[in-house]
Amino acid sequence: MLVLHMNSKSYIIFCLFAVLALLPMQAGDLHSVPYDSQFMQGTLERRISQNMQRLCEEKYQPDHVFLTMEQSGGWPGDTEGRTILALTLDAQALHTTSDNLQEILHRLPSHLNERGYMGPVYPNFIHEQQLSGNGWMLRGLCEYYEWKGDTAILDIIRRLARQLFLPWRGQFCTYPIQAAERQQNVGGASGHTVGQVGHWQLSSDVGCLFIGMDGLIHAYAVTHDEELRPVIDELIDVFLRIDLLSIKAQTHATLTALRGLLRYATLTGDRRYISEVASRFLLYTQYGMTENFANYNWFCRYDTWTEPCAIVDSYLLAVQLWQQTRDAAYLQWAEQIYFNALCHGQRHNGGFGCDNCPGKGSGTPYLKVSAPEAHWCCTMRGAEGLSNAARYSMFQHADTLFFPFYRPAAFKASIRKQQVGITEQTQYPFDGCVSFSIAVQRPLRFTLCLPCYEWMEDIRVQVNGKNVSAEKCQGFLVLRRKFRMTDKVTVQFQLSNRKLPILNPQNALPGYTHRIQHGPLLMGKPEGSDALVPIWHMMNASVWDSSSSGFQILFPDGD
């Protein structure tokens, strides 16, 4: 049984979600605009481009991306699936194509086994890491199918899902979920098999089975194969019975499972799953999140390292929970995860690497590099985080346009059969000014919802240089009016330094009591300097060497 470990305030929040979960789905749910309707600019576009360039290098090319079981470290389908996923999403975000992606997909059938999935056929036991790796294969293929509608890819998805998962129906409920059944405090950054329990060949990445579940749920979404549902339901039942803290589940596997569970909630209309996801995301923020909004690789193992795969999952999950609940607190989590964890984790070559976890477990108040690049997983998953940061820049519900984050970009939308163009310009979070230029064929009434984060002060909204009033609702400034060609909306506000308590008291370094943020940006002091600077960096080459000093991000009283 899951132990929630919640204080009274958290319990109230959980109860509210429990009530929310009983409400019916709303028609015309809030949806993000498609990639072909948004064109990113500024630092996010540069990050996606640099990541795409990294994924065009030798390691990820068709001649090298297909790995043997030994080369993969016992993760069949993992590298291949993540690479397909990354190239598919980066290409869409950049409005381009990838010859490497097409060639990888062309060669894929010849690398599948006789049953249609990656890796050996194990007739007598379930290989947890095989289900996980093929979960990424399903995710990559599903994203590609949703983009291109290639029926040959759909056939691969259908066969892979059925042949790998259906034979074990009725056995997933035997997955070892008790701490006594698992080896604890073992495992490296890439994970490995740790022995057999019953029918299960288990992994040090505790719970990675449910990465396979996420892929299976996505496969169900595109195939509508009803025979997959009983297996999905069985897997979900097992996952919801896990005490994540006791078993010290891997945070990446947990967050990936939660994303799958949210997808399943939208597919089935069962909103009870949303409260299950919300309670576990809360648990993650309390016991799985580091002081710079990244992750401990396992729950309650504070002497480990971060993993951008999990950072990406936490970012996506926070936005998707907002999308389902309209609770703006999730957007504030997402914004801080993006700037302080995801952006800090991207390296100068466009890939993503791991950092330490400042606090008692590491014995230091400094944020430092742990691994320059996790090229075997995080570089590819970083693409999903960055491309979705682009996709999540604008949402629409009927005639209302939501901008959950301030990102420079150009957007297109259709409102009552009229095309609307919006260009957003800003240097946020480095200054407090954002402008939106409107382009419409004729005057059109619609609503703009612009984020109003808790760190924004002295907010002023103007239209064409004149102050206007904007209602504050659910974390947004709501501006409803008849817009005309060349209208310009400007939001101005102040950002200041704030002293904030540490996020995880369980990992508190004695004597260090607080962090400092400027707006959403976590501030740090480079060794030998008294200057506070953002830990955010634009793929700075100095954030690579594990022997470098890093940033002091935890501070004692009086500092």
Nearest to 100 by CA among 114, 126, 80, 117: 80
Residue 14 banded pLDDT, cuts 50, 70, 90:
very low
Q: Phi and psi (nearest 5°) for 375?
A: -65, -20
* Number of domains composing the chain: 2
Residue 184 banded pLDDT, cuts 50, 70, 90:
confident
User: Is it the case that residue 482 has pLDDT exceeding 90?
Assistant: yes
What pLDDT score does 410 carry? 98
Across the range 141-148, mean pLDDT stands at 98
What pLDDT score does 518 carry? 98
Average pLDDT, the chain: 93
What pLDDT score does 317 carry? 98
Residue 187 lies in a domain: yes
The gap from C-alpha 78 to its chain's centroid, in whole angstroms, comes to 18
Residue 206 lies in a domain: yes
Q: Are residues 16 and 162 in the same domain?
A: yes
User: Is it the case that residue 18 has pLDDT exceeding 60?
Assistant: no
Indicate the burial class of 142 (C-beta count within 10 angstroms; 0-12, 13-18, 19 or more): buried
Q: Are residues 350 and 410 in the same domain?
A: no
Tokens representing 420 are 């609307």
Residue 204 lies in a domain: yes
Q: Are residues 191 and 307 in the same domain?
A: yes
Across the range 130-135, mean pLDDT stands at 98
Residue 17 banded pLDDT, cuts 50, 70, 90:
very low
Residue 21 lies in a domain: yes
Residue 508 lies in a domain: no
What pLDDT score does 549 carry? 73
The answer to whether residues 552 and 527 touch, using CB atoms and an 8 Å cutoff, is yes
Q: Are residues 363 and 416 in the same domain?
A: no
Q: Are residues 18 and 120 in the same domain?
A: yes
Q: What is the CATH number of the domain that holds 302?
A: 1.50.10.10
Residue 192 banded pLDDT, cuts 50, 70, 90:
confident
List residues bridging with 491 in a β-sheet: 434, 461
Our CA angle for 342, 30, 135, nearest 5°, is 50
Q: What is the CATH number of the domain that holds 451?
A: 2.60.40.1180
Residue 2 banded pLDDT, cuts 50, 70, 90:
very low
Q: Are residues 366 and 477 in the same domain?
A: no
User: Is it the case that residue 8 has pLDDT exceeding 60?
Assistant: no
Q: Are residues 119 and 44 in the same domain?
A: yes
Q: Are residues 129 and 96 in the same domain?
A: yes
Domain that includes residue 377, residue range: 8-392
pLDDT, tens digit, for every residue of 82-125? 999 999 999 999 999 999 999 999 999 999 999 999 999 999 99
Tokens representing 94 are 């950049």
User: Is it the case that residue 463 has pLDDT exceeding 70?
Assistant: yes
What pLDDT score does 190 carry? 76
Q: Are residues 322 and 401 in the same domain?
A: no
Q: Are residues 13 and 89 in the same domain?
A: yes
Q: Are residues 374 and 419 in the same domain?
A: no
Q: Are residues 421 and 381 in the same domain?
A: no
The whole-angstrom separation of Cα 116 and Cα 155 is 10
Q: Residue 125: which residues within 8 A CB-CB, separation 6 or more?
A: 196, 199, 200, 201
Residue 186 banded pLDDT, cuts 50, 70, 90:
confident
What pLDDT score does 253 carry? 98
pLDDT, tens digit, for every residue of 311-323? 999 999 999 999 9
Residue 99 lies in a domain: yes
What pLDDT score does 54 carry? 98
Tokens representing 208 are 């990675």
Q: How would you write 299-361 as a 3-class SS string?
A: CCCCCCECCHHHHHHHHHHHHHHHHHHCCCHHHHHHHHHHHHHHHHHECCCCCECEEECCECC
The whole-angstrom separation of Cα 548 and Cα 1 is 43
Residue 539 lies in a domain: no
Across the range 444-465, mean pLDDT stands at 98
Across the range 274-283, mean pLDDT stands at 98
Percentage of the chain exceeding pLDDT 70: 95
Residue ending a domain, among 447, 463, 494, is 494
Residue 145 lies in a domain: yes
The upper half-sphere exposure of residue 536, i.e. CA atoms within 13 Å in the direction of its Cβ, equals 20
Across the range 290-303, mean pLDDT stands at 97
pLDDT, tens digit, for every residue of 219-266? 999 999 999 999 999 999 999 999 999 999 999 999 999 999 999 999
Tokens representing 284 are 């993650």
User: Is it the case that residue 291 has pLDDT exceeding 70?
Assistant: yes
pLDDT, tens digit, for every residue of 379-434? 999 999 999 999 999 999 999 999 999 999 999 999 999 999 999 999 999 999 99
Across the range 149-172, mean pLDDT stands at 98
The answer to whether residues 444 and 421 touch, using CB atoms and an 8 Å cutoff, is no
pLDDT, tens digit, for every residue of 23-39? 333 434 899 999 999 99
CA dihedral 386, 109, 172, 193 (to 10 degrees): -70
The whole-angstrom separation of Cα 305 and Cα 352 is 13
What pLDDT score does 183 carry? 81
Across the range 337-345, mean pLDDT stands at 98
